[in-house]
Amino acid sequence: MHETDMTKALILTVKDWLSEQSGHPVVERIHLTVGQFTCVEPASLQFAFRAQVQGTFLEKSDLVIEETPLLAFCHPCQQEYRPEIGLQYACPVCQSPLEDILSGRELKINRVEFSQPTSV
Partner 1 sequence: MHQTFDATLEMNLLHANQHGADKNRAQLDSWGITCLNLMSSPGSGKTQLLEKTLQQLNSELQMAVIEGDMTTQLDAERLRRCGVPVIAINTGRACHLDSRMVAGGLLQFANEQQPNEFDLVFVENVGNLVCPAEFEVGEHAKVALLSVTEGEDKPLKYPIMFREADCLLITKIDLAPFLEIDIETIVANVRQINSKADIFLVSAKTGEGLDHWLDWIRQKTPASCC
Q: Which does 93 bind (CB under 5 to 8 A by kind): Zn ion, partner 1, none?
A: Zn ion
Q: What are phi and psi of 54, to 5 degrees?
A: -55, 125
Q: Which amino acid is at 14?
A: V
Residue list 9-48, contact with partner 1 (CB under 8 A): 9-10, 12-13, 16-17, 25-26, 28, 32, 34, 37-40
User: Nearest Cα to 45, choosing from 109, 103, 115, 94?
Assistant: 109
- Give 59's strand partners: none
* DSSP-derived 3-state class of residue 61: coil
In the complex, the smallest distance separating the C-beta of residue 72 from Zn ion, rounded to whole angstroms, is 9
Binding site for Zn ion (CB under 5 A): 74, 76-77, 91, 93-94, 96
Note whether 117 binds partner 1 by CB under 8 A: yes
* DSSP-derived 3-state class of residue 103: strand
Tell which one of 1, 22, 43, 54 touches partner 1 (CB under 8 A).
1
**Rounded CA separation 37/12 (Å):** 23
User: Nearest Cα to 58, choosing from 108, 11, 3?
Assistant: 11
Note whether 93 binds partner 1 by CB under 8 A: no
Residues that bind partner 1 (CB under 8 A): 1-2, 4-6, 9-10, 12-13, 16-17, 25-26, 28, 32, 34, 37-40, 85-90, 97-99, 107-118
